[in-house]
Amino acid sequence: MTSMSPTEAGAASLTVNGTSVPLGERATPHTTTLDWLRDRGLTGAKEGCAEGECGACAILVARPGSEGTTETEWVAVNSCLVPVGALDGQEVVTVEGLGTPERLHPVQQELADRGGSQCGYCTPGFVCSMAAEFYRAGRTATEPSDGADHECGPNGFDLHAISGNLCRCTGYRPIRDAAFALGVPEESDPFAARRRARPTPARHTRLVADGAELVRPADLAEAVQLLVERPDAVLLAGSTDVGVDLNLKGSRPALLVAVDRLPELRGLEVSDDEVRIGAALTLTEVERGLGGRVPLLSQLFPQFASPLIRNGATLGGNLGTASPIGDVAPVLLALDASLVLAGADGERVVALADYFIGYRESVRRPDELIREVRVPLPLAPIATFHKVAKRRVDDISSVAVAFALDVVDGTVTRARIGLGGVAPTPIRALGTEAALEGAPWTRSGVEAAASTLAAEGTPLSDHRASAGYRSAMLGQALLKLYAGWSATSEGRP
């Protein structure tokens, strides 16, 4: 991570399609990047849902590449969610900057050739998401094969990269065909060349307008001091939650504190005893950095919203909201995770099981922020995550259940079960854990524990699911876990 340099008053700017553009007097701490771009005539990006579910607003942002490299990567994000002030000093590319009518970008050319656009409203967002995957480091084109029908095409294109973009016209097949027809960037491609250069360093920012402020502190100490002085401050990382409040609820925080580039919140370390994950790493960065070393998290990531959201969302932000329906908490509860809270009095470690104290309430004080998530090792060998929702992906959970079990010689020696959506807070299924531990890992033993699990929590009926359905899904989740284990285990009972 490069050092931060201060932004002089009135000098806030953004590099857009290769040109430095001042944010201007009309840019407030609450102005979204989408609105700012459209005010400047860059109308390719569209507002569809204003909450990061459709992808019509997608743009590319240049960010530091993998840990230990000096390269830049192009990342697709929802411009409708990110305040433009949070991108001060950074580089963005819109669909207009990728190509022109006279010289289309390869992504645009393939979409045109294969009929991947009809009404065109969603097309710019698709182009930006596809371009980010086009420039993904390590993607290589190979000879066509049967893999074209799988999630990754014969050219190494991961179709999940555009799973956050919606289209009502094409039926998606022409878009998929265009994605799978792409080659690799040419050496002369300016965006590929930019990827090989050093990333633009984040800088100290203070944007003041309309009686509100957006501040990007230089380090953790300054961030904590701001929280001490202003208990009303709202922390800003990927803005995947704050941005929704700005757009749909009309929220106008007096102070936004951007912590997404603080070096102290961006570490990732795996030792013999634990995994330490910086609270400001995006979920995409965490997934890539762990490389499958925490299988339960690997199951979570593809079910957590869309790539456009995961490119901004952070563990710290998800846990900081203390939402009872967040997908991260049940998984981390099953992993026996703890949080490092940094505040004016220093740091303290809090077990995640003790962190939530009420509906959207936690033990975190106003002067504290989440610095790090710690997961103890070794991991339980039997682990799975079940998300029950109306849609298979990119949806809010009706029920979320995570299991982590140790079974020795046919007996459950340790059980950790995290639940979401069945109580005012994410909870551990303590009754079920007690019923499992010391019991035989058999069909009859699991059925007895499943009855206990179905009675855990205090589920409510709402527009997502009834209380009865939620309870039934809890019990079924444990039976499903056992059935899957039994079908694959060589020591099938």
CATH class of the domain at 1-201: alpha beta
**How much of the chain, in percent, has pLDDT values that exceed 90?**
86
Q: What's the pLDDT score for residue 149?
A: 37
Q: What's the pLDDT score for residue 137?
A: 87
Q: Which CATH number fits domain 263-379: 3.30.465.10, 3.40.50.10610, 3.30.200.20, 1.10.150.120?
A: 3.30.465.10
Q: What's the pLDDT score for residue 318?
A: 96
According to DSSP, the β-strands at 255-258 and 234-236 are: parallel
Phi first, then psi: give them for residue 413, nearest 5 degrees: -95, -20
What is the tens place of the pLDDT at every residue in 178-194?
999 999 999 899 999 99
Asked if residue 95 lies in contact with residue 122, where contact means CB atoms within 8 angstroms, the answer is: no
Name residue, tokens 């995006």.
282
pLDDT at 273 over 50: yes
Does 229 or 68 have the greater pLDDT score? 229
Question: What is the pLDDT confidence band of residue 488, given thresholds at 50, 70 and 90?
Answer: confident
Q: What's the pLDDT score for residue 7?
A: 55
Answer yes or no: same fold for 1-201 and 263-379. Answer: no
Output the DSSP codes for 405-417.
Answer: EEEETTEEEEEEE
Output the DSSP codes for 235-277.
Answer: EESS-TTHHHHHHHS----SEEEE-TT-GGG--EEE-SSEEEE
Neighbour-count burial for 458-493, b at 16+ CB within 10 Å, e otherwise: ebeeeebbeeeebbbbbbbbbebbbeebeeeeeeee
Fold of 381-493: Enolase-like; domain 1 (3.30.390)
What is the tens place of the pLDDT at every residue in 340-382?
999 999 999 999 999 999 999 999 999 999 999 999 999 999 9
What is the tens place of the pLDDT at every residue in 431-450?
999 999 999 999 999 999 99
SS3 (DSSP) at 441? coil
Phi first, then psi: give them for residue 166, nearest 5 degrees: -110, 145
Domain residue spans in the chain?
A: 1-201, 263-379, 381-493
CA triple 406-412-413, angle to 5 deg: 65
- Pick left, alpha or beta for residue 283 (phi over 0 → left; psi -120 to 50 → alpha; otherwise beta): alpha
Report pTM. 0.94
Q: What's the pLDDT score for residue 284?
A: 96
Does 226 or 66 have the greater pLDDT score? 226
Minimum mean pLDDT among 141-155, 273-287, 329-343, 356-370: which range? Answer: 141-155
Q: What's the pLDDT score for residue 139?
A: 86
User: What number of CA atoms fall less than 13 Å from residue 420's CA on the CB side?
Assistant: 28
